[in-house]
Amino acid sequence: MQSLVTQEFAIRFGQRPTFIVRAPGRVNLIGEHTDYNDGFVLPMAIDRAMWIALRPRDDRHVVLHSLDFPEVGGFSLHEISHGRAWDEYLRGMAWGLQEASYTLNGWEGVLGSDIPVGAGLSSSAALEMVTAMAFSAVGGWEFIPDIMAKIGQKAENEWVGANTGIMDQMISASGQVDHALLIDCRDLSTRHIPLPTKATVVILDTTTRHTHTDSGYNERREQCEAAARFFGVSHLRDVALKEFKDRSANLDELIRRRARHIISENERVLKAAQALSKGDAVEMGKLMNESHTSMRDDFEITNAELNIMVQAAQAQPGCFGARMTGGGFGGCAVALVHEDAVGAFVENVHASYAETTGLDPKIYLCKATNGAEVVHRN
Ligand code: GLA
């Protein structure tokens, strides 16, 4: 992708780019819907990313060509308005940065991406973070990961209108090669956790789709808020499993199950971080399987295809564990698989899922990469 955006830049602008920046997509290993409950998540940045090759401009305009869309994106920093669909995240990020008092300079360039769109691998958060990195490079100010993540979340919530949490921006901004990232979504403190050396992270795309403006995501948020009110806390993060067991008898049955997912999931994330720190892929896999069951039965964010995919994955020899990942209601599952078994795993899961659903799944073997960075400067 780096060479593709560099080549296209040369064609468009007749020279080499001044900067090349990238920001990755992500897969969440465990900790789903816990971020907006002030809880814990354990995602990793993947080796699929948004790339921009660019050079500064003297005026305060942003002009961006995309390898994927024929329309040229762009806007004036003097007055940012809502625009075409694909550059909306750039506009939102520029708006958010200016709201946060960053002085922005104009630039022009070429955008390329190999993150599948709509699969739940956070192409939008990656676009926000790569945009922030582009502004930081031309403006000469420091890209501070958690501050940029917060501004990205604000762009997503207030500019784009998707009521999402902080996980996707945080991991795209601060991932580290060969590591997952334990994030405390209350204070945004982070810890890099090494991934098991003999295991491969496999993303299994059901090819069924969701959107964040889906009512399901927002409805889950409201149900979590209702449960927090019942326990008299600001967020479910503050309820321990024991307290939940002692006090939840009078809680509405549906809200009770929603809360049980969040509270048990927070515990699983912390146990998962411990397991990975010890290189224990078996324990990690067990926690992933439990997480899926909790999302299927208590939080009810899986669809039939996700359940079929996860079942097919869990049945394979060498699979430590598998679960749906991301917002849910479609999209991807993630599995942790022994490296020696990966070849057969991919073949068998593909065949089994295709046979049961009639759909052609997409399967990606992933490596954990660094978060947003400048990869080249002239
Ligand atoms: C989406 C949101 C995240 C998070 C996950 C669920 O990816 O963007 O903030 O809430 O869903 O864990």
Q: What is the pLDDT of residues 286-331, one digit of tens each?
A: 999 999 999 999 999 999 999 999 999 999 999 999 999 999 999 9
Q: How far is the CA of 165 from the centre of ligand 1 (A)?
A: 6
Residue 212 scores a pLDDT above 80: no
**Whole-number pLDDT of residue 213:** 52
Closest CA to 85 of 118, 114, 107, 110: 118
Residue 252 scores a pLDDT above 80: yes
Rounded to whole angstroms, the Cα distance separating 167 from 11 reads 37
2 and 375 Cβ atoms separated by less than 8 Å: yes
* Minimal-distance CA residue to ligand 1 atom 5: 327
The boundaries of every CATH 3.30.70.890 domain in the chain are 195-366
Which residues, including other chains, have CB under 8 Å from residue 179's CB and lie 6 or more apart? 44, 192, 193, 194, 195, 368
Indicate whether residue 152 lines ligand 1 (CB < 6 A).
Answer: no
Which residues, including other chains, have CB under 8 Å from residue 276's CB and lie 6 or more apart? 42, 180, 193, 194, 195, 196, 284
Rounded to whole angstroms, the Cα distance separating 305 from 267 reads 27
User: Which of 29, 33, 169 to mutate for ligand 1's pocket (most ligand atoms within 8 Å of CB)?
Assistant: 33
- Report DSSP letters for 332-367, one per residue: EEEEEEEGGGHHHHHHHHHHHHHHHHS---EEEEE-
Atom of ligand 1 lying closest to residue 34 CA? 12
Q: How far is the CA of 3 from the centre of ligand 1 (A)?
A: 31
Atom of ligand 1 lying closest to residue 120 CA? 7
Residue 343 scores a pLDDT above 80: yes
**Helix, strand or coil for residue 167?**
helix
Atom of ligand 1 lying closest to residue 32 CA? 12
- Token pair 């947003």 is found at 372
**Whole-number pLDDT of residue 214:** 65
Residue 329 has what DSSP assignment? Answer: S
* Minimal-distance CA residue to ligand 1 atom 11: 327
Rounded to whole angstroms, the Cα distance separating 134 from 148 reads 12
Atom of ligand 1 lying closest to residue 31 CA? 12
Predicted confidence (pLDDT) per residue in 40-93, tens digit: 999 999 999 999 999 999 999 999 999 999 999 999 999 999 987 789 999 999
Predicted confidence (pLDDT) per residue in 264-291, tens digit: 999 999 999 999 999 999 999 999 999 9
Atom of ligand 1 lying closest to residue 166 CA? 9
Q: How far is the CA of 11 from the centre of ligand 1 (A)?
A: 38
What does the mean pLDDT of the chain come to? 96
151 and 93 Cβ atoms separated by less than 8 Å: yes
Q: Which residues are catalytic?
A: 168
- The torsion region of residue 19 among left (phi > 0), alpha (psi -120 to 50) and beta comes to beta
pLDDT category at 350 given cuts 50, 70, 90 is very high
Q: How far is the CA of 31 from the centre of ligand 1 (A)?
A: 9
Indicate whether residue 124 lines ligand 1 (CB < 6 A).
Answer: no
* Minimal-distance CA residue to ligand 1 atom 2: 164
Residue 211 scores a pLDDT above 70: no
Least confident of 75-84, 150-159, 346-355: 75-84
Indicate whether residue 8 lines ligand 1 (CB < 6 A).
Answer: no
The boundaries of every CATH 3.30.230.10 domain in the chain are 2-192
Which residues, including other chains, have CB under 8 Å from residue 277's CB and lie 6 or more apart? 193, 194
Indicate whether residue 331 lines ligand 1 (CB < 6 A).
Answer: no
Indicate whether residue 326 lines ligand 1 (CB < 6 A).
Answer: yes
User: Which of 32, 35, 261 to mutate for ligand 1's pocket (most ligand atoms within 8 Å of CB)?
Assistant: 35
Closest CA to 27 of 116, 112, 90, 92: 116
- Quote the tokens at residue 360: 């052609």
Q: How far is the CA of 329 from the centre of ligand 1 (A)?
A: 12
- Read off the pTM: 0.96
Q: Quote the percentage of the chain above a pLDDT of 70.
A: 99
Predicted confidence (pLDDT) per residue in 86-126, tens digit: 899 999 999 999 999 999 999 999 999 999 988 889 999 99
**Whole-number pLDDT of residue 85:** 79
* Minimal-distance CA residue to ligand 1 atom 8: 164
Q: How far is the CA of 327 from the centre of ligand 1 (A)?
A: 5
* Minimal-distance CA residue to ligand 1 atom 9: 165
Which residues, including other chains, have CB under 8 Å from residue 103's CB and lie 6 or more apart? 139, 141
Which CATH number does 2-192 carry?
Answer: 3.30.230.10
29 and 334 Cβ atoms separated by less than 8 Å: yes
* Minimal-distance CA residue to ligand 1 atom 3: 165
Atom of ligand 1 lying closest to residue 217 CA? 11
Rounded to whole angstroms, the Cα distance separating 290 from 311 reads 12
Handedness of CA 127, 130, 134, 139 (dihedral sign): positive
74 and 60 Cβ atoms separated by less than 8 Å: no
The CATH number for 195-366, chosen from 3.90.950.10, 3.90.1150.10, 3.30.70.890, 1.10.1740.10, is 3.30.70.890
